[in-house]
Amino acid sequence: MPLGFKVAIKKMKKKYYSWEECVTLREVKSLRRMNHPNIVKLKEVIRENDILYFVFEYMECNLYQLMKDREKLFSEVNIRNWCFQVFQGLAYMHQRGYFHRDLKPENLLVTKDIIKIADFGLAREISSRPPYTEYVSTRWYRAPEVLLQSYLYTSKVDMWAMGAIMAELFTLHPLFPGTSEADEIYKICSVVGTPTENSWPDGLNLARTINYQFPQQVMLQ
């Protein structure tokens, strides 16, 4: 790496006592297999005194920082450009057998008009066998099937998160700012309607499994 080259360094909290431990980390495995202009590039992995450092390409800020305290709405051109790039990165990821599971504005890094997907600590191989862990993604961007404790979710959870982020870019307000899992589901139903046997039978089955009753909202036309 040339001198004077600006990078971003992520220091891991856990100590790693062997290099073998490091190379099997999910984030290392997934990022090493990906090379796309809209996925942040892992340049180097360093272990020093049992502390692990990830060296990434430098990006100026994240999407959350751009939206925070902003009063003027983004132009539609900007939003379309950013979303197109993220969807390109997601398509690449999904085609190569991975889904992210933690998409949120903080994990989308921006430099000028370029946006890149970052933080693959929760990424999963599509071919890996469920059950997956229940906790994925900040609550506001979590897909309904995950909120209902499904362990069989797919890469569709990334698309749900991106839909919520897209709406937030247009309004500068989170689409589903739930204060708990139950409130999150309530807010989702208040926007898209309560699921029925016709619209989402799998969701009703998940709810029955955990003895959950959906809020009785008026169905949206």
* Distance, CA of 117 to CA of 100 (rounded, Å): 9
Q: Is there a single domain that holds both residue 109 and residue 199? A: yes
Which of 18, 36, 57 represents a domain boundary (last residue)? 57
Q: Is there a single domain that holds both residue 31 and residue 119? A: no
* Distance, CA of 215 to CA of 21 (rounded, Å): 46
Q: Is there a single domain that holds both residue 11 and residue 75? A: no
User: What is the CATH number for 80?
Assistant: 1.10.510.10
Calculate mean pLDDT across residues 59-84.
96
Q: Could you give the residue numbers annotated as active site?
A: 102
Helix axes 76-95, 156-171, angle to 10 degrees: 170
Q: Is there a single domain that holds both residue 137 and residue 38? A: no
Q: Is there a single domain that holds both residue 119 and residue 204? A: yes
Is residue 1 very low, low, confident or very high in pLDDT (cuts 50, 70, 90)?
low
Q: Is there a single domain that holds both residue 48 and residue 68? A: no
Q: Is there a single domain that holds both residue 44 and residue 75? A: no
pLDDT by residue (tens digit) across 31-48?
788 899 999 998 888 889
Q: Is there a single domain that holds both residue 66 and residue 121? A: yes
Q: Is there a single domain that holds both residue 16 and residue 100? A: no
pLDDT by residue (tens digit) across 76-88?
999 999 999 999 9
Number of domains in the chain: 2
Is residue 121 very low, low, confident or very high in pLDDT (cuts 50, 70, 90)?
low
Structure tokens at 173: 């307000």
Which of 57, 72, 99 represents a domain boundary (last residue)? 57
Mean confidence (pLDDT) of the chain: 87
In a domain, 176, yes or no: yes
What is the residue range of 72's domain? 61-209
- Residue 44 bridge partners (DSSP): 55
In a domain, 38, yes or no: yes
Is residue 27 very low, low, confident or very high in pLDDT (cuts 50, 70, 90)?
confident
Kindly give, in sequence order, each residue whose CB lies less than 8 Å from that of residue 169, ignoring residues fewer than 6 positions away: 63, 67, 74, 79, 82, 83
In a domain, 136, yes or no: yes
Q: Is there a single domain that holds both residue 33 and residue 119? A: no
Q: Which residues of 208-220 are buried (b: 16+ CB within 10 A; e: fewer)?
A: eeeebebeeeeee
Q: Are 185 and 215 in contact (CB under 8 A)?
A: yes
Q: Is there a single domain that holds both residue 42 and residue 70? A: no
In a domain, 215, yes or no: no
Q: Is there a single domain that holds both residue 33 and residue 67? A: no
Residue 54 confidence (pLDDT): 85
* Distance, CA of 146 to CA of 168 (rounded, Å): 20
User: What is the CATH number for 44?
Assistant: 3.30.200.20
CA distances in angstroms from 125 to 95, 104, 219, listed in the order given? 11, 19, 36
pLDDT by residue (tens digit) across 171-191?
999 999 999 999 999 999 999
* Distance, CA of 178 to CA of 112 (rounded, Å): 31
In a domain, 218, yes or no: no
Residues 172/176/177/182 CA torsion (nearest 10 deg): 180
